[in-house]
Structure 1
Amino acid sequence: MSLQQIAPLAYLRAAIIALTFAIGALCIASFQWICVQLLQSSPSTLYAIISTTKTHFVILLGFLTSIVNPCKIAITIDTQSVPHSQQFKVDSTGHIHTFLDPNSILISNHQIYTDWLFIWFLTYTSNLSNSVFIILKDLSKIPVLGYGMKNFNFLFLSRKWEKDKVKLTNQLLEIDANARGLGPANGVSILSSTEKEIKKWPKGTCSKSKDQAVWPYELILFPEGTVTSDRTTKKSAEYTSGKGLPPLKHVLSPRVRGLYLSLKKLQNTIEEVYDITTVYGGLQPHEYGEIKFSLKNVYLRGQGPPVVNYFIRAYKIKDIPALGAQDDEIDDSTHEQLQEFEKWLLKIWYEKDALIDGFHKTGHWQTDLSTRKIVGDFKLKNPLELVRPFLPIATIVSVLITIGYFVSVLLRSGLAEYPIME
C-alpha cells in the first residue's frame, strides 16, 4: 500500500479535494450566473465566456484527479486515417500535445464513470476544451453542477427516445448553426419551427469577421450508452445473439440512433469522427472498470488506472453510409438506412473488441495499420492554471470589497466634515 492510500491520509486528502472541487464548481457556476444576467443583449460575448468556463471546469477536475490519481496517457494513432498525426507529441516535461480537428465527434467504448473526463482532457491537449459538448444522461438536477452543465449546453438524455429526439435534434442543429456562424451565439434568430417543433436555422456559412465568429464543437458520445457490467454485458449478448452475431467480449453492442442523429444533423460542418478505443492499465479482462475504478476507489482511496491506453482512428463523413440529407427527420429514415448504418457501426465495434482482446493478451495494440505512439502525463500544461476557475469570482469579490471600502471611507469622511447636529 502506498503512502497516499493509508486510510487517515486518504480521507484527509479526499476531504480537501472535495472542498476544493465544491468551491471551484461554485465559483464557475456563480460566474456563469452573473454573466447570464448581465450579457443577455450580447450573445457572442456570453457564449465565449460560457465556453471559457468549460475549460475552467476540466482544469479544475483534471488537476484534482491528477493529484489523487497521477497516471500516464498512452496514445497510439492510426497515421493513415488521423489527420495531423505527426503533430501528436510529448514535450520534455511530459506534457501531451495533440491536433484534433475542430467540428468533430469523438466516440469511444464506455468502461468507467470518468471516461468522459479523460477524453475531455484529450481535447484540452488540442486547445479545444472550450468547444466540448457531451451527450449523457440527464444530470441537470444536481445542485450547482447541473446548472453549469445546462449552461454548457450539454445534451441530456432521458433514455426515452420519443422525448429525446426533438430536444436532441434542436440542440444538434443549434451546434451546427453556431459552427457556421449563423446560430444563436451570434444573435441569429430561427427561421421557422416545424409542426414537430424542430427549429430551422439559416443555411450557408457567414463570412468570418470581427463581429461574426464561428464556434467549433467537439461532441463526445459513448454509443454503448452505459458502462460494462454483468447486467449490461448479458443484455448486449442477447442483442447480438438475436442478430446471429457472436457475443462481444470487452465492449457492449452500440446503440444506433443517438450517433446516427448526431452525424445526420452535423454532417454539413463535421470534419472527422474520431473512433477511440480505450483500455485502462491494471484492469484485467474479467474485471469491470466501474467496480475496480469506481469513483469511490479513485477519489477516496487513490486507486485509479495507472495508464489510460488509447487507440485512435478517424473516419471522414463521406465514408459513413446511409445518413441521407440533414433536413430529413430521423423518423423518415428507412429501415434499410438504419440497418446499413448499424452494420457499419457494428463492424467498428467488433474491430474494437478484437483490438482490446489483443491488447489484454500482449500489452500492446495488435494491428496491421501504420501507427505511432506517444506517452505523456495526465496533467495541466501549467499548475498555475488551477487559479483560472477561481479567478473571475475572486476578482469580482475583490472589486466589490474595494468599492465597499472606499464608499465607507467617503461616508465616514463626509460625516466627520458635516457632523449630525443634535
Structure 2
Amino acid sequence: MRKYEGDGEYMSQHTGWGPPQGPPAGPPPGPYGRGGGYGGGWGGWAPPPKPGVVPLAPYGVMEVLGGAFMTLGRHWKQLLGIALAAYAAALVVFGGALVLAYVALREDVERLVDTSRYDADAAPADFAPLVAAFIGVYLFGMLVLLTANAVVYASCPAVLQDAILGRRATIGTVWRRARPRVGAVLRVTLLMWLVAAVPMLLMVLAFTAIVLSLFALAVGEDGGFGWLLGLAVLGLLATGPVAVWLWVRFSFAPAVAVFEGQGAIASMTRSARLVSGDWWRVFGISLLGAIIAGLAGYALQLPFSFLEGIGGDGFGADGFGDGAPGTGTAVAILVTGLAFGLVAQIVSQVFTAAFPQLVNALIYVDQRIRRENLGATLAEAAAAPPQGPLSP
C-alpha cells in the first residue's frame, strides 16, 4: 500500500530527516557556498540550492530568524489552525475541571466567600479539602497547558519539513505528521520542565520571602525572613546556570522527536550530541528567538487591549457614562472585554509558543547540515517529486 507524505516514518526514511545510518558523514566537502561554492566545479562559485525558506547549506543568525518568519508567513494557516484547536480544547477541558471542582466543593466555597456564614470556631483543617482541590486543579491546568503546547511544538517541525523543501502543506498533512509524535514531545516537555523545576521553586521561595519581609516591615515588626531570602538566592545561583545549561542541551529534543521519530530519552540524548561543541551558539540564537517572540507577543496584544480600552471609555470614567447600564449592556461589555482578552492571549500564546520552536528546529537542521551533510540529502529530496498526495 502506498504511503502518504504525511506519514512520519516514511518521511524519515525517504527524505533524509531520519538519523544518519552508520557513522556520521562528517562536514560537507568544500566551503559550501563560500570560496569553492556549492557544486561549482573547477573552483567556480554557485549559490546553494534554496527550494524553501532557507538555503540547504550552513546558515547564520539572520537565515535562522528569517526562515522562522518566512515559515510563519507561508504556513500560518496550518500553525494557527492546529494551535487554536489545541488551546480551545485545553480551555474546554480546564473549564470542565473547574466546574466539577466547584460542584464537589460548593459548600466550602460558599462558606469561604460568605463571611456572614463563617463559623469562627472552625479549624483551618476544615478548609483542607478546598486547598487540596485548588492545588489539584492548578496542577491539572498546568498539565493541560503543557499538552496543548506539545501539540504546537510537534506541529512546528512538521510544518518545517515542507517549508524547507519548498512544498505546500495542508492542516490535515501537518496533523497526520505531528499527531503520532505529540506523546513523545509531551514527555520531552515534561522532562525539560523538571530540569527547571528546582530553580523555579527557589525563585518562588525568594519572591515569597521578599513579600513577607516587606509586610513585616510595613507593620513595624521584624519577620526574620532574611535567612529564607538568602537561602533561596544562594540556591538559585547554584542551580540556575545548571538548569540553563541542561535546557539548551536538550532544546533540539522536540525537533528530533518529530523529524527522526525518536522517543523522549533518545531525543534528548541525540539533542545533547548535536549541541555539544556549539552550546554558546545555540544558546545565543535561541535566546534571541525567545526575546523576539516575547516582544512580538506583547505587541500583538496591544491592539486588542486598545480596542478593549476604547469600549470601556465609551461608558465614561466609571465605565458606564452618566447612568448605570441595563443588564444587557453590562453583559455585552463583560463579554466583549473577555472576548478581546481571550483573543489577545491566544494570538500571543500561538506566536510565543511557535516562533522559538521554529528557531530551535532550524538550528537543529543547520547543525545536521554542518555535521552530517544533510543539505545534500535534502537537495535530492527537494528535487524529487512528492511521494503521495498532500490532500488530507
TM-score by length of 2: 0.27
Comparing both structures, which one devotes a greater share of its residues to strand?
Answer: 1
Query: Given the two structures, how large is their TM-score scaled by the length of structure 1?
Result: 0.26
